[in-house]
Structure 1
Amino acid sequence: MPDSVPMPLSAGQEGLWLTHQLDPDSPAYNVVLAVRLRDPVRTDVLQEALTALVRRHELLRSRFPATEQGPERVTVPAQAVRLDVREVPEADDDGLFLLAGRAGEEPFRLAGEGAFRAVLLRRAPDDAVLVTATHHLVSDATSQWLLVRDLFAEYGARTAGGPGRPAAPSDGGTWDEQVRTEREFVTSPRGARAAAYWRQVCAGLAAAALPTDRPRPAQRTLNGATVELALPDRTAARLRGVAAQRALTPFAWLLGTFQAALHRSGAGDGFLIGCPVTTRFTPRSREAVGYYVNALPVAGRFGPATTLLETVEAAQRQLRGGLAHARHPVELIKGPADRGPLFRISCTLVAADRLPVPGLYEGPVRLGGLRAELCDVPQQEGQLDLTVEVLQDSRGFRAVLRYNTDLFDAATVERFRDTWHRLIDASLDAPGTRAADIGLVADDDLRFLLSLGGA
C-alpha cells in the first residue's frame, strides 16, 4: 500500500514513462550494476541494508500508476522492497554471467512493482552475484553506483565490515522538491532565455540519422546490441596531450570526430545529436539516487572546407554553452510537427575514475567487508538508433556503441566504429585536415579494390 500522496514526475521522467507504455517488456531502459561477491553473504543483513537503502532514496520505493491526468508517483513502505535470493548451484562462470544479464533485463511493472530490484544469484556460500537493476526514470549511471555504495555501507555497518552508514542528506530534500524546482525554472525568465537558446541551436536542423540496413518500422522499437571501440594506450595518451595543447577536453575531441564520422557515413551536412549530461547542481543531488539527466542538443554543420579541428572546437563551444542552459528539460523543446524526434543518436561521457565506488570499475575491491568485483553485463541496448557511451578511466578511453538491431546489422555499426577510429587518428596526426579529405579505406584495401577495377 502507498504511504504517500501522489506526486508529479519531472519532464524527463514523463518521457521515459510514456516510452515504457509503448513497450513495457523492453529492457532498453534498465540500468544495471552487477557485483560478483567472493565471501559468504548474510542475506538477513543484506535485506536490512536494502530496507535502509530504499528508506534513504525514496525513488527506489516508488510506484508509477497512470491516472486520468497522466502518470503520478507514490511511495510505499521501505519494508515492501524485498531482496530476491535465487539459488543457482549448477551455474558455471559463463552461466552465472548469463543469469546476471537476464536478471537485469527482466521488465519492470512500474505501477505495481516499482522501478528497482535487487537479485542475489548464489552459486555457493562464498560465490554470488548481486544484481541491482533500476528503470531509467528513477536512476542514471551515477545513481546506480551510489545505491551500490550506500547498500554495502549499510551492510558493512551491520557486520563491522565496512566504514559505516552513509550520512543522511543535509536538508532532507526529496525528489518532489527537485520536480518543483524544475517547474519553477521553466516558467521563470531564466527558463524562457534557456528555451530561446535551445530553439536557436535546433533551428533548421533535424535529427542525425545514418542510412539503415532495413526500413524504419512504423512504430519505434527498442531491440538492441552492442559493439565496442577501445582506443590503444598510445592513442589515448596522444588524445590527452593534443587536446590539452589546444585547451580542449578529450571528450570534446571525441565528440567532434564522432560528428565527423556521422557526416562521412551519410548523416548529411547539418544535423542534431543528443549529449546527455548530469543535472546534479546541488550538494544534496550529488548524493541522491534519481534521474538527474538532461540530453543537450548538439549541432553538427559541415561544408566542403570544414576541418576536423573546427568540428572539435565547435563541439566544445556547444558543450560549454549547453551546460549553461542545462536546467531546461530537452523534452520541452518544441519544433515543427513534421521534424520527428529531436535526435536519434546520442553520445555521452562517463568518467569511470570519478564514480562513487572507487576502484570497482578497474578491479576487485572490498565492499562492506566483502571481496567484490564488477560483473559488466550488457544493458540499455536499443534506446535510440545509436547511443554511444565514452568510458574514461585511468587506463584510457573505451566507447560502447549500442544500436537498434531492427535498423542495423552488426557489420554496419562496426564499419561506422572503424570510420570514427580512423578520423580520431587523422585528427591527432593533422587536426587542420578537412573532414572531406580523410580516406576511409586502409591503403591495402584500397589497392585491392583498385586492382579489381583494373582487371
Structure 2
Amino acid sequence: MVGRAPATFQQRNFIEQHHRHALPQVFNVALRITLTGDLDIPALRTALTQLCARHESLRTRFVKDGEEWWQEILRPRPVDLTVEDLTGPGDTADGSVAEADEAEVKRISAEVAETRFDLAEGVAPKLRLLRTGPSTWVLLFLLHHSTCDGWAVSILLSDFAALYGAAVTGEPHTLASTVPQPTEYARWQRETIGDKADQRVLKYWARELEGASFPHGLPLDRPRPETLSGQGRVVLFHVGADVRADVERLARKCGTTPYAVTIAALGRLAGKLSGKPETVVFVSYANRERRAFESLMACTVAGFPLRVRTAAEETFTGLVRRVTLATTEAIDHVMPLRRLAKALREDLGVEIPDRVPLGFQYQNSLETDIELPGVTAAVEDLAVPASRSEFNLGLVPAGDALAGYVEYSTDLWDHATIEGWAADYVSLLAEEVRAALAE
C-alpha cells in the first residue's frame, strides 16, 4: 500500500450499493475494444501497465475501519495480459472471424462483463485479450463503477491511446506529467463540504419535495414482487439526426441544453403512461465544474431528484423552461440522496425515500473514438443482465444522432413493453419539439 484516504462520497455510495444489491455485478463498467491491424502486443502491455500506474483508482481497494470506508492505494505492478487465441481452421482468408469464433467471443465477453469484484481485494481492471483472426483482436476491459463514470472512461481511453502510441513509436507521450487522484478529491470533499448537512440545502429540498409522489406509476406487466431480484435487460434505440437537430434548436430557443428538452419529453411520456400529473426522476450529471479535477480518473457523478410536472395545459416550451430552472436550483443544492434522506429525517423530521425508481442521464461527456498507430479501434459497451434501478433511460450523442438505452427490471416488465415505450419516446420527442418550434 502506498496511500490511504477516506472514501469519496461517490465511492461510499457505490460500496454500500454493491454490498446491498442482489446482483452487485450491475455496477460493472465493461468495454469491448475490437482492434484491427498490426497490433503490437508488448506495447499494449506497456501502455496498460503505465495507465494503471498513472491513475490510482485503477489500483485501489476499499476497507472498513469502524464506521468509515477507506480507499487504499496499492503499488503499481506490471499488467498480466496473455493472448487467448480463438482462431482456427474456420477463419476466412481476409482475417474476419468465423461464426463459431464470434459466438465464443460473445460468450467470453458476457462472462467477463458479469465478473464480480471483491472490493476488499481491489478494483483493478480485469483484462482479457482475445485473438480472433490473423489481424483482429478483442480487448475486454472491466472496471467497477466506483472507479469511473462516463467522463472518466473518456479520460481512460484517451490516455490509453496516448500511452500505446508512445510505446509503439518510442516517442514520448504528451500527457501531463501528473494528474489529480481520488485521494486528493476525497480530502477536498471533506474540507469543502464535510459530513454535516448544510441547513440551507436541507430547507431547499424540504420545500422542493413536499408532497412529491416518488413511485413512477408506470403500468406493470406483472405484480411487483416483495423484493426485486436485480435481474434486468437493456433496450437500445436511436434518435435520428433530424430530431436531434430540432432538439438542439429548441434548446437554443429556450436558452438551455438538449438535456432539458429530452428529460421534459420523458416526463410527458411517463405522465401519459401513469396518468399522474408529475413524475420524479433521478438525474445524474458529470459534476466536473472544478477545473482541478477535470482529468481525474474517478467517479464524480452527482445526482438529484427532479419533479417533472406535466400539467396538460402547459406548453412543451414552458415545461422545458421550468425543468431548466428546477435543474439549475437542484445543482446549486445538490447532496447525495442517501445523505439527504437521512439528514431530512433526523434534522427536520421530513421523510423521503433514499432511492428513486426512475432515472435519466444525458451523457454528452462520453467520448470513445480513439486513434492507435497501425490499428483501428472500435469501442462498445457490454451490458450486464441486471438493473440498478427499476427504469433508467439514457441518451448519448453519437455522430449527428443520439444513441438511447433503457435499462429496466425484468421482474416488472417484458422486453416488448420497453421496446414499445422506447419507440413511443422517440415519436413523442419528435412531435413535441416540432410543435414547440412552430409556436
**2 CA distance for matches of 1:32 and 1:401?**
17
Return closer, same or farther for 1:218/1:168 CA change in 2, 3 Å cut-off. Answer: farther
Aligned to 2:37: 39
Aligned pair count reads 420
Aligned to 2:81: 83
- Root-mean-square deviation (CA, aligned residues, Å) is 2.9
Q: Which of 172, 179, 185 is the equivalent residue of 2:186?
A: 179
**Shift of residue 316 of structure 1?**
1.5
Aligned to 1:367: 372
**2 CA distance for matches of 1:289 and 1:267?**
42
**Shift of residue 98 of structure 1?**
4.2
Aligned to 2:70: 72
**Shift of residue 379 of structure 1?**
4.6
Q: Report the 3-state secondary structure (helix = DSSP H, G, I; strand = E; otherwise coil) of the residue aligned with 2:230.
A: coil
Q: Which of 333, 336, 345 is the equivalent residue of 2:358?
A: 345
**Shift of residue 27 of structure 1?**
2.5
Q: Output the amino acid matched with 1:284.
A: A
Please give the per-residue CA displacement for 1:376-398, whole angstroms capped at 9, x wherever unaligned: 43358511111111111331222
8 A Cα contact 2:270 2:279, kept in partner: no
**2 CA distance for matches of 1:130 and 1:156?**
16
Aligned to 2:112: 103
Q: Report the 3-state secondary structure (helix = DSSP H, G, I; strand = E; otherwise coil) of the residue aligned with 2:37.
A: coil
**Shift of residue 413 of structure 1?**
1.4
Q: Report the 3-state secondary structure (helix = DSSP H, G, I; strand = E; otherwise coil) of the residue aligned with 1:333.
A: helix
Please give the per-residue CA displacement for 1:228-269, whole angstroms capped at 9, x wherever unaligned: 231233322322223323333222111101011111111622
1:14-413 mapped onto 2 (5 Å cutoff): 14-23=12-21, 25-79=23-77, 82-83=80-81, 85-89=83-87, 92-124=101-133, 126-160=135-169, 164-169=173-178, 173-187=180-194, 191-209=198-216, 210-266=218-274, 268-326=276-334, 328-334=335-341, 335=344, 339-351=352-364, 355-357=366-368, 360=369, 366-379=371-384, 381-413=386-418
**1 CA distance for matches of 2:253 and 2:176?**
41
Q: Report the 3-state secondary structure (helix = DSSP H, G, I; strand = E; otherwise coil) of the residue aligned with 2:419.
A: helix
Return closer, same or farther for 1:310/1:92 CA change in 2, 3 Å cut-off. Answer: same
**Shift of residue 429 of structure 1?**
3.6
**1 CA distance for matches of 2:371 and 2:427?**
40
**Shift of residue 191 of structure 1?**
4.4
Q: Which runs of no fewer than 5 residues in structure 1 stay unpaired? A: 434-455
Q: Report the 3-state secondary structure (helix = DSSP H, G, I; strand = E; otherwise coil) of the residue aligned with 2:423.
A: helix
Runs of 4+ in 1 over 6 A off after TM superposition: none
Aligned to 2:96: none
**Shift of residue 192 of structure 1?**
4.0
Please give the per-residue CA displacement for 1:111-145, whole angstroms capped at 9, x wherever unaligned: 11425222212224521111222111111012122
**1 CA distance for matches of 2:260 and 2:318?**
11
**1 CA distance for matches of 2:381 and 2:193?**
38
Q: Which of 406, 412, 426 is the equivalent residue of 2:431?
A: 426
Scaled by the length of structure 2, what TM-score is found? 0.86
Seq. identity, %: 22
8 A Cα contact 1:206 1:342, kept in partner: no
Q: Which runs of no fewer than 5 residues in structure 2 stay unpaired? A: 89-99
Please give the per-residue CA displacement for 1:308-353, whole angstroms capped at 9, x wherever unaligned: 3322221111222233334x333321255864334111111112xx
**1 CA distance for matches of 2:222 and 2:118?**
31
**1 CA distance for matches of 2:13 and 2:424?**
33
Return closer, same or farther for 1:227/1:344 CA change in 2, 3 Å cut-off. Answer: same
Return closer, same or farther for 1:264/1:284 CA change in 2, 3 Å cut-off. Answer: same
Return closer, same or farther for 1:373/1:388 CA change in 2, 3 Å cut-off. Answer: same
Return closer, same or farther for 1:25/1:247 CA change in 2, 3 Å cut-off. Answer: closer
